[in-house]
Amino acid sequence: MLSVIGQGYVGMPLALAAASAGHDTVGIDSNSKIVASISSLHSNIEDISDAQIKTAFAEGRYRITSTYESIKESEIVVICVPTPLDASGVPDLSFLQTAVLEVAHNLKNDALVIIESTVAPGTTRDFVAPVLDRAKVSYDLAYSPERIDPANKNWNVKNTPKLVAGMTSSATRLALNFYQSFVSDVVEGSSIEVIETAKLLENSFRLINISFINEIAEMCVKMKIDVREVIEAASTKPYGFMPFYPGAGVGGHCIPVDPSYLSWKAKEMGARTRFIDLANEVNHERPYYFTEKAVEMLGVIENKEILIVGVAYKPDVSDTRETPALDLIRELRKAGAQVSWHDDLVQEWNSEKSSPLANTYDLAILVNPHSGTDLSKLGSVRILNTRGGF
């Protein structure tokens, strides 16, 4: 039996992929609303359809619960819980700690435990293992970071290469065998610390390059050229270049968070991460920059009606975690603007409801409009596009 703790954007696709490969899978989630939704055959994420859940239930290979009882019978336990930052920007391992404690309390002898949550280098060995040791049973421990890009139509759990490393050769072998049953390309690392660091490097690379293109976008505005056309032109080079695109900032569960885990660990060791620190600074300035652009366009924004279009952290998902829209709205309201927002996929957020698109606003700011958002409904409303272009 397989137990997957966390049935969100990471755990749910993993559980269904494993179930489709023949694993008797139990999804565990402490959120009763998620459990109720999935139990009623309704998906809580865009990448999984209701039909996929219905099929998994019908085949008898998947079920969901809010209890940890299944761990007592599970040969494999995978932990896919959030590891955000706390209010001071320090790694918050409270969700991971709760999950690991529950696993230790219920762990079966000789079970394999795999951590997919993003953590700082050394966390699996120095934080997770000592907790599992309380179980007083034999177990294997491995690390295999999630690589989920919500709304990506090309890459999913089954065809995205999977990194794996175990605390022991036995743990590595067991983890490789598990993932190879439903992932086409599984890559073995020499140590858990290498793979933990690789995960953080991936998203630090993205943060730094998004910050860089945000600065280039500002320069292009001053030059009165379209940054997106510049990016398209540069992208014709078949080597040595990768396109990144500007925006109101970075959001989601990875890019705004993972680099800070790497930076935090570096500071702990006395090393420097100046590129990450500068990239964070550039992205944190974006709400102020676009508030200033709004003032330039309207002359004054006090009591002006401004609509933010797209409050999810990226187009075509309903996830608002770390969305750049939050700070932008805060700054606009601080400047006196009357701000409302529209999002086709997010109907309620921060105790507010989505406002309709209409030709009644003084300005519309495009943050993350979805592919189905009908911007023509704005009519002659002036538009500020944070994603580049005119």
Check residue 5 and give its pLDDT: 98
Is 198 a member of any domain?
no
C-alpha 296/C-alpha 331 separation (Å) is 15
Is 369 in contact with 350 (CB distance < 8 Å)? Answer: no
Half-sphere CA count of 128, side-chain side, radius 13 A: 30
The model's pTM:
0.92
pLDDT at 389 over 80: no
Mean pLDDT of the chain: 95
Number of domains in the chain: 2
C-alpha 350/C-alpha 211 separation (Å) is 27
The CATH number assigned to the domain holding 93 equals 3.40.50.720
pLDDT at 203 over 80: yes
Is 336 a member of any domain?
yes
- Chain centre to alpha carbon of residue 178: 24
Question: 220 and 115: one domain?
Answer: no
- Provide the phi-psi class of 109: left if phi over 0, else alpha when psi is between -120 and 50, else beta: beta
Is 390 a member of any domain?
no
Closest CA to 129 of 178, 80, 169, 166: 166
Higher per-residue pLDDT: 97 or 150: 97
- Enclosing domain of residue 371: 203-385
Question: 173 and 227: one domain?
Answer: no
**What separation in angstroms does the CA of 83 have from each of 10, 120, 123, 143, 253?**
12, 10, 12, 14, 8
C-alpha 361/C-alpha 347 separation (Å) is 19
Active site residue: 254, 276, 279, 282, which one? 254
pLDDT above 70 covers a percentage of the chain that reads 99
Is 343 a member of any domain?
yes
What is the sign, positive or negative, of the torsion defined by CA atoms of 3, 152, 245, 186?
positive
Which of 10-14, 19-23, 84-88, 350-354 is least confident? 84-88
Final residue of a structural domain among 190, 211, 244: 190
Check residue 79 and give its pLDDT: 98
pLDDT above 90 covers a percentage of the chain that reads 93
Is 196 a member of any domain?
no
- Chain centre to alpha carbon of residue 193: 21
pLDDT at 317 over 90: yes
Query: Which amino acid, residue 119?
Result: V
pLDDT at 390 over 70: no
User: CB 106: neighbour CB atoms within 10 A?
Assistant: 19
DSSP letter string, 74-103: -SEEEE-----B-TTS-B--HHHHHHHHHH
Question: 226 and 374: one domain?
Answer: yes
Is 160 a member of any domain?
yes
Q: Residue 353 forms beta bridges with which residues?
A: 348
Question: 283 and 172: one domain?
Answer: no
Check residue 140 and give its pLDDT: 98
Is 197 a member of any domain?
no
Final residue of a structural domain among 163, 190, 217: 190
Final residue of a structural domain among 190, 221, 238: 190
Is 177 a member of any domain?
yes
End-to-end CA distance of the chain: 54
Place of tokens 């100046």: 274
Residue 252's pLDDT band (boundaries 50, 70, 90)? confident
Active site residue 220: no
DSSP letter string, 330-347: HHHHHTT-EEEEE-SS--
Question: 179 and 260: one domain?
Answer: no
Question: 337 and 228: one domain?
Answer: yes
Question: 248 and 270: one domain?
Answer: yes
C-alpha 310/C-alpha 306 separation (Å) is 13
Question: 267 and 306: one domain?
Answer: yes
- 162-197 confidence digits (pLDDT tens): 999 999 999 999 999 999 999 999 999 999 999 999
Question: 372 and 238: one domain?
Answer: yes
Place of tokens 């680099």: 259
Rg for the chain, CA atoms, rounded: 22
Question: 234 and 285: one domain?
Answer: yes
Question: 177 and 209: one domain?
Answer: no
Mean pLDDT of 272-276: 94
Check residue 46 and give its pLDDT: 85
DSSP letter string, 107-127: PPTTEEEEE-S---TTHIIII
Is 259 in contact with 276 (CB distance < 8 Å)? Answer: yes
User: CB 314: neighbour CB atoms within 10 A?
Assistant: 20
Query: Which amino acid, residue 269?
Result: M
Mean pLDDT of 230-241: 97
Check residue 151 and give its pLDDT: 86
Is 151 in contact with 182 (CB distance < 8 Å)? Answer: no
Torsion of CA 368, 374, 377, 380, to 10 degrees: 60
Question: 159 and 218: one domain?
Answer: no
Mean pLDDT of 257-268: 91
pLDDT at 73 over 60: yes
What are phi and psi for residue 293, nearest 5 degrees?
Answer: -65, -40
Mean pLDDT of 248-263: 90
Closest CA to 212 of 282, 260, 272: 282
C-alpha 378/C-alpha 54 separation (Å) is 39
